[in-house]
Amino acid sequence: MKASELRNLTIEELRKKEEELRRKLLSLRIKKKIEGLKNPMEIRQIKRDIARILTVIREKELRGES
């Protein structure tokens, strides 16, 4: 997911996407402990996507967008 794609979304859509990614991250962490993952880098990528979303949300808040 690229930051340029995220900038086209509203803050509400970004927050929904963040919540979705956090749930996916939680399920991946649980799956990792129980049975292991085929692609452990997926956890790292989701963390980065969450950070990108939070950055874009903060940028929009500072600009006064809704």
pLDDT in tens, 1-35: 788 999 999 999 999 999 999 999 999 999 999 99
Domains of the chain: 3-60 (1.10.287)
What is the model's pLDDT at position 1?
78
In single-letter form, the type of residue at position 42 comes to: E
User: Rounded to whole angstroms, how far apart are CA atoms 26 and 61?
Assistant: 27
Give one DSSP letter per residue of the chain, joined into a string: --HHHHHTS-HHHHHHHHHHHHHHHHHHHHHHHHT--S-THHHHHHHHHHHHHHHHHHHHHHHT--
Rounded Cα–Cα distance for residues 29 and 8 (Å): 30
pLDDT at 16 (0 to 100) = 98
pTM recorded for the entire structure: 0.90
The pLDDT assigned to 65 comes to: 78
For residue 66, what pLDDT band results from cuts at 50, 70 and 90? low
- Mean model confidence pLDDT for the chain: 94
